[in-house]
Amino acid sequence: MRVQETRLLRVGKAAHSLLQSWREGVSHCTASGLEIDELKRIAARDRWRLARAHHRDGRALLESRRRLFRSAISRLYYAMYHAMRAAAYMFHDGDDHESHADLLLHVPDDLPDAKRWANTLKQARLLRNAADYDPYPRDGRVWRKRADSLLLDSEALLRAARDYLKARGCRGLR
C-alpha cells in the first residue's frame, strides 16, 4: 500500500503531543472495534443517561416526605446541564464547553428553540445556586413552587436533548 505524500508530510511535521493523540485514537478504535464517531455517540448517550438519572433523583426528592425541595432543584438543574452538555458535545464535536457559564453560550445553534433552552438553562442554574447557597426564603412552599416549575422545564429540556441526540445517530435513548 502506498501512503499519500500529504499524509506523510503531516506525520513528518506533527508535534509529539499530536502524534501521541493519534496513537491514542488508533488505540481506542482498535480496542473497541469502533470508529471515533461511534464512540462519541456512545459517550453522548451515556451523558444523557446520567442526565436522566439526575432527573429521576430530583423527582424522587420532590416526592419525599422530608420536603427536600432545594436538593430536588439541584438534581433537576444537573439533569438539564448534562442533557445540554451531551447535545453541545455532539454539535461542537468535543467537550470544550463543560463549564456551566460557557455551556450557556454554546447551546447548539441547530437545536430547535436554542435561545429558549439557553435561557431556561441559565434560569435553572441561578435557581440551583440560590437553592444551594441562599438561606432565604425559608418558606418551603416557595421552594416547592420553584421545584415544581423546574421539574416541568427539565422534562421538556431532556426531551429536546434526546430528540437532538437521536437525530445525530445516538441510539439507546428512552
Express each pLDDT in 120-163 by its tens digit: 999 999 999 999 999 999 998 999 999 999 999 999 999 999 99
Torsion sign, CA atoms 107, 86, 167, 153: negative
Output the pLDDT for position 67.
81
What percent of the chain has a predicted confidence (pLDDT) above 90? 92
Domain regions of the chain by residue span: 1-33, 37-167
Angle between helices 114-133 and 140-167 (to 10 degrees): 140
Task: List pLDDT tens digits, range 24-61.
Answer: 999 999 999 999 999 999 999 999 999 999 999 999 99
Mean pLDDT of the region 71-84: 98
Banded model confidence at residue 2, pLDDT cuts 50, 70, 90: confident
CA separation for the pair 25, 43 (Å, rounded): 15
Residue 73 CA neighbour count, 13 Å, CB half? 24
How many C-beta neighbours within 10 Å does residue 14 have?
Answer: 13
Choose among 83, 79, 85: nearest CA to 101: 85
Is 1.20.120.330 the CATH number for 37-167? yes
- 96 CB-near residues (< 8 Å, 6+ apart): 106
pTM of whole model > 0.85? Answer: yes
With a cut of 80, say whether residue 114 has pLDDT above it. Answer: yes
